[in-house]
A = this chain, B = another copy of it.
Amino acid sequence: MAAVKLLNCFVSPFGNRVRIALAKKGVEYEETAENMVTKGPLLLSSNPVHAKVPVLLVDGKAVCESLVILEFIDEAFAGTGAQLLPADAYARANARFWAAYVDAKMPECAGKIWKVPKGAPAVEEGKKEMVGVFKTLEGELGEKPYFGGEALGYADVALVTFTPWFLTYERLAGFSIAEECPKLTAWAARCVGENECVAKSLPDAEAVYQFVGGMRKHFGLE
């Protein structure tokens, strides 16, 4: 077996995608906790371009960028568990489209909620944008249980790691995601309830809120 190591921060929606993919494949690995302020030497040497988590190291070889890592895991550990990406080329393109949509939209609208001073006008804007993004995602989900169809897939993994942050977004921006987007909320509960690889990979929402509060104090935002 290859020696697999993950550089991650326990709240990272990007890093936790890799946790889920490795758990789904049953790949054993060791996780090294990075904090988001001081960068460890292994993080800097293995991801010199971005100096960001996650980094996956397999026998010392580094793979960076969470969606790239998910594809790598699907390909490098193809024989060890259900694939995240389907076999059909159109279905693969659709999964990649929605994962890219999550990456293009979520960090931006979430950042307007938690990376700005309390009560800044951006918060209201971020909330509206986020609800719009979730409604678009609900439209794609339709009556399917998962974005991947009958089972958790690539786009599900890309999105579900933001759900432990929902409580933080709600408290900081004063809204209820369950009220605004009941279908997405039911999907999130399904992901955790029906998939052990998700349940064991996500942080506690209250712990995320406390962590974000600490970050916000550190950066003088509250």
Does residue A101 face the partner (Cβ distance < 8 Å to B)? Answer: yes
A65 contacts B96, C-beta separation under 8 Å: yes
| A contact residues, total (Cβ < 8 Å) | 21
- Name 19 interchain pairs, CB-CB below 8 A, sorted by A: A49-B101, A49-B136, A61-B90, A63-B90, A63-B93, A63-B97, A64-B97, A65-B96, A65-B100, A68-B97, A71-B92, A71-B93, A71-B96, A72-B89, A72-B90, A72-B92, A75-B92, A76-B89, A76-B90
| Binary contact readout A61-85 vs B (1 if CB under 8 angstroms, 0 otherwise) | 1011101110110011000000000
A-B complex: 10 closest residue pairs judged by Cβ atoms: A76-B89, A75-B89, A72-B93, A68-B96, A63-B93, A68-B93, A68-B97, A65-B97, A65-B100, A72-B89
Chain A residues with a Cβ under 8 A of chain B: 49, 61, 63-65, 67-69, 71-72, 75-76, 89-90, 92-93, 96-97, 100-101, 136
Q: Which B residues are CB-close (under 8 A) to A65?
A: 96-97, 100
B93 contacts A69, C-beta separation under 8 Å: yes
Supplied contacts A68-B97, A75-B92, 5 more A-B pairs, CB within 8 Å = A49-B101, A63-B93, A68-B96, A71-B93, A76-B90
Q: Which B residues are CB-close (under 8 A) to A100?
A: 65, 67-68
Shortest C-beta distance, A33 to chain B (Å), equals 23
